[in-house]
Amino acid sequence: MSTPELVTVTIDDRAVQVPKGTGLVETALAAGVEIPVFCYEPRLGPAVGACRMCLVEVEGMPKLQAGCTLTAQDGMTVRTAQTSAKAADGQNATLEFLLVNHPLDCPVCDKGGECPLQDLTFRYGPGRTRMTFPKLTFDKPIPISPTIALDRERCILCYRCTRFSEGVSEDGELVTVNRGAQSMIATFEDEPYRGRFSGNVIELCPVGALTSTQYRFLARPWEIQNVPSVCGLCPVGCNIDVTTREGKVKRVLSRNHPEVDEGWLCDKGRFAFSHPHARDRITEPLRRVRRRGFEELSWDDAVDEAERMLRAAGTRIVTALSGSETIEQAYALGKLLRQGLGAHAAVLPEETSTALDALRLPLSAIRDAELVVVVGDQPVEERAPVVDLWLRAARRRGAEIVTIGPTGSIQTPPGSAPQVCRDLAAENNELGRRLRGGQRSIVIWSGPDGRGGEHIAALAHALGLADVAGSGAFYLPDTPNGRGVADAWSAVADGEPADPEPIALLIVSGDEAAANPGVRALAERAEMVLAITMFQGLAVGWADLVLPGTSYLERDGTYMNLEGRVQRLRRTVIPPAPDELAWLAKLAGRFGVELSPHPSLVFEDVSARLFGGLAFADIAATAALPTRAKAAPRPPLPEPEPQLGGDGLRLLRYRSLFSGAAVERVAELQFQRPAREVEISPEDAAAKGIASGNEVAVRHNGTSVALRATLNRRLAPGVVRIADEHAGDLGARVEVGRA
């Protein structure tokens, strides 16, 4: 790449050299000068110059200029309010104007204390008003969704929120209605803002116009702490700041990791934080008595009981993992069971593979790609939402994004992704040829049955992507830390897992494992069950001993995200029960296994085996991505799956982003959960005489589920789509008819 031309700009008599075209706000920053802004936010696309806060005097231009809309040109001489009376005057007038209708209700405003309007008024504002007429008033606050409240009186019409909705998440749900002085931010009629990323507008708002309903009136900025951590609800691992007050989580904010999330956060990550306070949270160990009855027991008794169960079971133990444990927890469990008892059998949360390590890229590389091909049965936004934002950013930059699947831009039947990989790898495939010849080609597997990334790695190798720096491959796993858990478990010992029969003890680690039908089936066959879960609804009733689990917000430790990046979770609040490591260490001692209760020391142990001795303390707040592995395995291209025969429509089940134990326990997120509906292609709907909104019956083998039909133009004919939680026991082939 050629080095960009440097230009010299003089700002407030300070000369600074920057690459030509650098924004003037950034140029000034490089010179140590602040140009204050409200509407300017480079992540939202080109500057709009809406708020006029950035007025500067530019030599040779007769009128004051909106600094944010200018870029650095050679010889430019700029004066900000610091050295230009004219600019200071302009800025003063701008602020006076912005405050004409602003209610100045700062004492009761959530934004007060962390508000750009307050701060800039303090530094640049007039301090008194000449306006004596009444201010405009509106109904307030208006709930634009159950999670976001809008106060139109406070709005300064900077258009950050609507630009986000139009140009970043591209949901088009939040808009400006009316014109001029009557302009206001609105959704359509009384519809809630339903996007997957809506919460970002709260953080973007430079005043208190858009506030979080969960955080409303709960804290003042000077009595809170922000703890840097990582979201534990999907495999992206967005960096977050967790706001706590008096030992409770009050909100979650994004924390910009430029390679992972660019400062965006999905609504699940942002709003699901209240799940640790759910009513059915387990805070004491529980032992089953008689049939379905339960009694609490002390921690000492619980550890004794667990020891007794482990001794009785010996090697005949199966451990079912969730993929939401920290690397340290999984390693600790493995150490206790594998080293202490020789019990090697485990149900891992999902298949994992090291094959993609040779094709590693930061997620931000998607934005810079020329051509991205996404294969698989599930939409990216349901599995790894922020990846969807990177794809949209790439498309806006001119990249071509091709999705191949049942809801893709190229429609294929469910289960055809292995065949698609083979086709793309073939010499004569046009799309494959372009991927092969490109300098920035990326392939992504989004859906189940990807063999932990092996299939997409095989395609990427066949296309030669491992040898091109800007090209690579991603796999979107099911669980937030499935790879970390699997790697940690296998790093503990070399013993061969032999499936015990009968199973003497099933250990269920985590709520996801407890909700897994496969694990429940194992529990039926096990003589004893020990579960580690957070919530009553899951294992209580069939586990003999339940030990309280913790949330990702309550743990110190590490997760490995889908890129292969090891990131730090921090304990943001103290859990209501000892965390897993504390009692695992105690239990391990009874079996002669040395295990520290401190995550940093456990990590040291893991790191020596898995991460080349990376020190816990060296994992940066914005963690680095390891370089590409040279020796990763090169799997063969996948064998095509036989297409499912039979009559009727092919049922495609999907797991909605807004599902799972955490989301189910957050009242404000209920409106986001998938509706009781079946998506059907317009072709199939017409053939069956079904219109959008009709009540229909979906039948399979004697079972029938009543749902509302909704037409999905992007869905391949012959396929219907239903969210997992509404699909019941329906099989792969279904009949759909008017109810």
Partner 1 sequence: MSTEALVDQIRAIAEQYPERESAIMPALHIAQERYGWLPPEALCEVADALELTPAYCKAVASFYDMYHLRPTGRHLVEVCTNVACALVGAQQVVEAFEAELGLRAGETTEDGEVTLRAVECAGGCGYAPVVVVDHRYREPVRPENVPAIVEGLRRAP
For the stretch 140-146, contacts whose Cβ atoms lie closer than 8 Å and that sit 24 or more positions apart, written own/partner, are 141/211, 143/192, 143/213, 144/174, 144/185, 144/186, 144/187, 144/192, 144/193, 144/210, 145/187, 145/192, 145/193, 145/194, 145/198, 145/671, 146/192, 146/213, 146/667, 146/668, 146/669, 146/670, 146/671
CA-CA distance, 630 to 354, in Å (whole number)? 11
CB of 137 to partner 1, least distance (A): 20
Nearer to partner 1, 189 or 496 (CB): 189
506: which 2 tokens? Answer: 């099933």
Question: In whole angstroms, what is the distance from residue 645 CA to residue 294 CA?
Answer: 47
- Whether residue 474 contacts residue 445, with contact meaning beta carbons closer than 8 Å, is answered with yes
User: Cβ of residue 457: shortest distance to partner 1, in angstroms?
Assistant: 35
How distant, in Å, are the alpha carbons of 2, 290, 422, 662 from that of 548?
57, 21, 46, 15
CB 546 within 8 A of CB 538: no
Query: Which one, 5 or 189, has the nearer CB to partner 1?
Result: 189
Beta carbon nearer to partner 1, 191 or 296: 191
Q: Which stretch binds partner 1 (CB under 8 A): 96-104, 172-180, 443-451, 519-527?
A: 172-180
Which residue lies nearer to partner 1 by CB, 173 or 684? Answer: 173
Minimum distance from residue 212 beta carbon to partner 1 (Å)? 21
User: Smallest distance, Å, CB 133 to partner 1?
Assistant: 21
Q: What string marks each residue from 407 to 446 as x (binds partner 1 by CB under 8 A) or -?
A: ----------------------------------------
Contact with partner 1 (CB under 8 A): which of 12, 110, 173, 512? 173
Nearer to partner 1, 78 or 186 (CB): 186
Helices (H), 384-541: 385-396, 417-425, 430-437, 454-462, 482-492, 511-515, 517-525, 536-539
Minimum CB distance to partner 1 smaller for 54 or for 209: 209
- Residues in 262-291 at the binding interface with partner 1, rule: CB under 8 A: none
Q: Mark the segment that binds partner 1 (CB under 8 A) among 180-188, 214-222, 301-309, 514-522.
A: 180-188
Q: Does 174 bind partner 1 (CB under 8 A)?
A: yes
Segment contacting partner 1 by CB under 8 A, of 186-194, 299-307, 459-467, 721-729: 186-194
The one among 4, 172, 464, 613 contacting partner 1 by CB under 8 A = 172
Name the CA radius of gyration of the chain, rounded: 28
Residue 372's SS3 state is: strand
Q: Are 318 and 506 in contact (CB under 8 A)?
A: yes
Identify which of residues 122 and 188 has a Cβ nearer to partner 1 in the complex.
Answer: 188
The backbone torsions φ and ψ at residue 715, rounded to the nearest 5 degrees and listed phi first, read -85, 135
Helices (H), ranges, 158-298: 160-167, 200-204, 267-271
Q: How far apart (Å, rounded) are the C-alpha atoms in residues 505 and 397?
A: 54
Contact flag: residue 171 with partner 1 (CB under 8 A): yes
Residues 526, 342: Cα–Cα separation, whole Å: 18
Q: How far is the CB of 416 from partner 1 (least distance, A)?
A: 26
**Residue 121 or residue 169: which is nearer to partner 1 going by CB?**
169
| Of residues 284, 311, 279, the one with CA closest to residue 295 | 284
- Of residues 3 and 178, the one with the C-beta less far from partner 1: 178
Q: Could you tell me the smallest distance in angstroms from the CB atom of residue 354 to partner 1? A: 42
Q: How far is the CB of 100 from partner 1 (least distance, A)?
A: 22
Q: Which is nearer to partner 1, 12 or 381 (CB)?
A: 381
- Rank residues 186 and 514 by Cβ distance to partner 1 and give the closer one: 186
Nearest to 310 by CA among 520, 583, 528, 493: 528
Q: How far, in whole angstroms, is CA 7 from its chain's centroid?
A: 39
Indicate the residue among 399 and 435 with the shorter CB distance to partner 1: 399
Identity at 434, one-letter amino acid code: R
Asked if 683 is part of the footprint of partner 1 (rule: CB under 8 A), the reply reads no
Nearer to partner 1, 642 or 689 (CB): 689
Compute the least distance from the CB of residue 677 to partner 1, in Å.
Answer: 17
Q: Which of 191, 300, 639, 724 binds partner 1 (CB under 8 A)?
A: 191
Tell the smallest beta-carbon distance from residue 166 to partner 1 (Å): 8
Task: Kindly indicate which of the ranges 55-63, 174-182, 216-224, 320-328 contains the residues binding partner 1, using the contact rule CB under 8 A.
Answer: 174-182
Q: Smallest distance from the beta carbon of 193 to partner 1, in angstroms?
A: 9
Q: Burial, 129: exposed, middle or buried (Cβ in 10 Å; 0-12, 13-18, 19+)?
A: exposed
401 is a site residue for partner 1 (CB under 8 A): no
Q: Please tell me whether residue 189 binds partner 1 under the rule CB under 8 A.
A: yes
Whole-angstrom Cα distance, residue 551 to residue 511? 10
Nearer to partner 1, 186 or 553 (CB): 186
Strand locations in 146-238, DSSP E?
148-150, 175-177, 184-186, 210-212, 225-230
CB burial string 376-402: b at 16+ within 10 A, e below: bbbbbbbbbbbbbbbbbbbeeeebebb
Nearer to partner 1, 179 or 290 (CB): 179
Closest distance to partner 1 from the beta carbon of 692 (Å): 10
Q: Which of 128, 179, 290, 292 binds partner 1 (CB under 8 A)?
A: 179
Pick the closer one to partner 1 by CB: 180 or 612: 180
- Which is closer to partner 1, CB of 186 or CB of 372? 186
- Distance, CA of 105 to CA of 687 (rounded, Å): 59
Quote helix, strand, coil % in the chain, to nearest 5. 30, 20, 45
Distances 321 to 280, 506, 508, 518 between C-alpha atoms, Å: 22, 11, 7, 12
Cβ 163 to partner 1 shortest distance, Å: 13
Q: What angle do CA 420, 369, 561 make, to 5 degrees?
A: 75
Instruction: Give the residue carrying structure tokens 């300017």.
Output: 40
Binding footprint of partner 1, residue count (CB under 8 A): 15
What is the rounded distance in angstroms from the CA atom of residue 346 to the CA atom of residue 441? 37
Which amino acid makes up residue 359?
Answer: L
Nearest to partner 1 of 144, 504 (CB atom): 144
Q: At its nearest, how many Å lie between partner 1 and the CB of residue 691?
A: 11
Candidate ranges 81-89, 179-187, 323-331, 467-475; the one touching partner 1 (CB under 8 A) = 179-187
132 counts as binding partner 1 under rule CB under 8 A: no
Determine the interface stretch with partner 1 among 132-140, 183-191, 307-315, 337-345 (rule: CB under 8 A): 183-191
Binding flag, residue 178, partner 1 (CB under 8 A): yes
The nearest distance, CB 713 to partner 1, in angstroms, is: 8
Is residue 89 involved in binding partner 1 (CB under 8 A)? no
Q: Is 177 in the site for partner 1 (CB under 8 A)?
A: yes
For the chain, the first-to-last Cα distance in angstroms comes to 62
- The sign of the dihedral angle between the CA atoms of 506, 512, 518, 523 is positive
> Pick from 156, 186, 260, 456: which binds partner 1 (CB under 8 A)?
186
Which one of 169, 187, 212, 244 is in contact with partner 1 (CB under 8 A)?
Answer: 187
Residues 140-169 that bind partner 1 (CB under 8 A): 166
Tokens for 530?
A: 């020990």
> Where on the chain is the footprint of partner 1 (CB under 8 A)?
166, 171-179, 186-189, 191
